[in-house]
């Protein structure tokens, strides 16, 4: 495929802020990103899917919204985009645009447009076209697939990286949308009609390495699920991990919204993989939890022996460590199983397995981890075949034995649909109820419903929201970005 430069519309000119105004990046003693916090004074940036490299979907820096006032949320503004939206909104504080420091929210749509918007009022700062594919797959409205993969920001470099329907990984100046041409764009796939960067990008800043993953449209071949590592300084692919092997059968897609999660001290990479389009479906590393080195060498993997067909590990492993427990991860299978692993002993199998949903093949999403509460939150699309679990929101406590136990649940929304992954911030857990077209906030400790968006949102809500600096950002299939605040 010929590398074509994206179409960029500049609405304001500017550059990223000076070093004195730049948010800081927190590095671990090992030189690997410990937390992707980008802060200036009391403000925080949300620079990637799930807030941090571990994909915990938790913002520990939120101080404005809390259980006492979240019920007062009101719509501050909404923005009509060019297509449905399924990316988690990204926010960067104090970007210097035309000499003025503003907060900018970045959102992709299924028409292939990447938007940079003034977070104060939704005014367009710039847009870029990343390409779109149209097919009969119903995983997006009208079969249009553009920017489904949530972008990632490198604040220190003043860049945002994004992938769309043209099979290219592209880099843009945060403030102006100008394309970065030193090695970019990078061709992740040369068959974008059938192979797609569905999942979010992740970035190890200290290693200057970006991780992209591939899947397909409705499991339509040809495609090979893989993890691709890109050197962001040179714009070159430095490693690939093929789920079914480079010359193996089709399939093995990586479908989790969060793509790859990264362990912050070692830089190790964790993914959940889908089925191979062959027999057995768990061929090679398919339908498994896989741990890789930062250079994408296989370290450990496990097939959890789930029942049924097309039972992908359809979510991104969320990495966490409760006090007194080993480092663990939580991941979901389309078989309806919620699996907990010890990160160090993946090959030994799941430490705990809970049959939370039915076996209909629709349990796909991510969890949210609240370190301060020692809890894990799960949005459940269906009732379990036996046992206490019902569709809606589930709150699990992490016990002294490091296992999950149900603390509360809230039954709501249409059963059999796929609600958004939850997000936790400051005592509140948020999630979208899919085709119910509502964003809902719960007391994270008790499960009491504190707020919902009512009839404000005009389409299904499948993407995880972002909660940062007293604002709630929600993407919808109706082609709007909605922003709520006090």
Give the CATH number for residue 22: 2.140.10.10
Domain annotation covers residue 158: yes
Taking only the tens of pLDDT, the chain with its 486 residues reads: 333 333 344 443 344 433 223 332 332 323 333 333 444 458 999 999 999 999 999 999 999 999 999 999 999 999 999 999 999 999 999 999 999 999 999 999 999 999 999 999 999 999 999 998 888 787 778 878 899 999 999 999 999 999 999 999 999 999 999 999 989 999 999 999 999 999 999 999 999 999 999 999 888 899 999 999 999 999 999 999 999 999 999 999 999 999 999 999 999 999 999 999 999 999 999 999 999 999 999 999 999 998 777 789 989 999 999 999 999 999 999 989 999 999 999 999 999 999 999 876 666 779 999 999 999 999 999 999 887 999 999 999 999 999 999 999 999 877 888 899 999 999 999 999 999 999 999 999 999 999 999 999 999 999 999 999 999 999 999 999 999 999
Q: Sign of dihedral through CA atoms 102, 56, 28, 372?
A: positive
Domain annotation covers residue 2: no
Sorted by sequence, the CB contacts under 8 Å of residue 152 that are 6+ apart come out as 47, 48, 49, 90, 160, 161, 200, 201, 202, 203, 210
Angle at 170 between CA 195 and CA 108, to 5 degrees: 75
pLDDT value, residue 361: 61
- Specify the residue for token string 């059999």: 416
Angle at 194 between CA 193 and CA 195, to 5 degrees: 105
Domain annotation covers residue 1: no
Structural domain for 359, as ranges: 8-485
pLDDT value, residue 1: 33
Per-residue pLDDT of 423-475, as tens digits, reads: 999 999 999 999 999 999 999 999 999 999 999 999 999 999 999 999 999 99
Quote the CA–CA distance of 426 and 450 in Å, as a whole number.
Answer: 13
Quote the CA–CA distance of 319 and 333 in Å, as a whole number.
Answer: 16
Domain annotation covers residue 3: no
Angle at 68 between CA 67 and CA 71, to 5 degrees: 80
> Contact, 272 vs 300, CB < 8 A?
no
How many other CB atoms sit within 10 Å of the CB of residue 82? 17
Total of domains in the chain: 1
Domain annotation covers residue 264: yes
Domain annotation covers residue 128: yes
Q: What pTM did the predictor assign? A: 0.91
List C-alpha distances in Å: 157 to 154, 216, 409. 5, 31, 43
Domain annotation covers residue 370: yes
Q: Which structure tokens are listed for 304?
A: 């959890």
Domain annotation covers residue 371: yes
């Amino acid at each position: 495929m010929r590398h074509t430069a994206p179409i960029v519309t500049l609405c304001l000119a500017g550059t990223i802020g000076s070093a004195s105004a730049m948010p800081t990046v927190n590095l671990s003693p090992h030189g690997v990103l410990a937390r992707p916090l980008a802060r200036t004074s009391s403000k925080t940036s949300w620079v990637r899917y799930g807030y941090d490299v571990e994909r915990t979907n938790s913002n520990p820096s939120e101080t404005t919204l809390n259980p006492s006032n979240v019920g007062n949320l009101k719509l501050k503004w909404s923005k009509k985009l060019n297509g449905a939206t399924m990316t988690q909104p990204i926010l960067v504080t104090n970007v210097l645009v035309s000499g003025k420091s503003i907060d900018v929210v970045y959102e992709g749509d299924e028409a292939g447009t990447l938007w940079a918007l003034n977070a104060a009022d939704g005014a367009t700062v710039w847009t870029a076209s990343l390409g779109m594919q149209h097919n009969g797959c119903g995983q997006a409205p009208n079969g249009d697939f553009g920017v489904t993969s949530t972008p990632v920001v490198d604040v220190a470099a003043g860049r945002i990286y994004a992938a769309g329907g043209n099979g290219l990984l592209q880099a843009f100046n945060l403030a102006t949308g100008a394309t970065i041409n030193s090695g970019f764009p990078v061709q992740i796939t040369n068959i974008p009609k059938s192979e797609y960067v569905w999942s979010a990008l992740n970035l190890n800043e200290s290693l200057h390495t970006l991780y992209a993953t591939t899947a397909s449209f409705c499991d339509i071949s040809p495609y090979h699920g893989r993890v691709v590592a890109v050197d962001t300084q040179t714009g070159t692919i430095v490693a690939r991990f093929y789920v079914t092997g480079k010359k193996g059968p089709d399939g093995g897609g990586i479908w989790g919204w969060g793509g790859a999660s990264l362990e912050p001290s070692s830089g190790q990479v964790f993914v959940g993989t889908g089925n191979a389009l062959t027999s057995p479906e768990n061929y090679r590393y398919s339908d498994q939890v896989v741990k890789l080195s930062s250079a994408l060498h296989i370290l450990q993997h496990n097939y959890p022996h789930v029942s049924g067909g097309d039972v992908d590990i359809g979510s991104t492993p969320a990495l966490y460590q409760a006090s007194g427990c080993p480092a663990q991860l939580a991941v979901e299978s389309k078989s309806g199983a919620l699996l907990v692993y010890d990160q160090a002993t993946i090959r030994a199998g799941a430490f705990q397995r809970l049959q939370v949903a039915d076996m209909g093949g629709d349990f796909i999403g991510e969890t949210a981890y609240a370190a301060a509460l020692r809890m894990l939150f799960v949005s459940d699309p269906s009732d379990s075949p036996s046992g206490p679990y019902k569709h809606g929101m589930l709150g699990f406590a992490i016990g002294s034995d490091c296992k999950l136990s149900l603390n509360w649940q809230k039954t709501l929304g249409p059963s059999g649909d796929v609600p958004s992954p939850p997000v936790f911030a400051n005592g509140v857990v948020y999630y979208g109820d899919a085709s119910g077209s509502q964003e809902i906030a719960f007391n994270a400790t008790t499960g009491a419903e504190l707020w919902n968006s009512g009839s404000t949102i005009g389409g299904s809500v499948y993407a995880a929201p972002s909660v940062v600096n007293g604002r709630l950002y929600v993407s919808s299939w109706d082609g709007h970005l909605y922003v709520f605040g006090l």
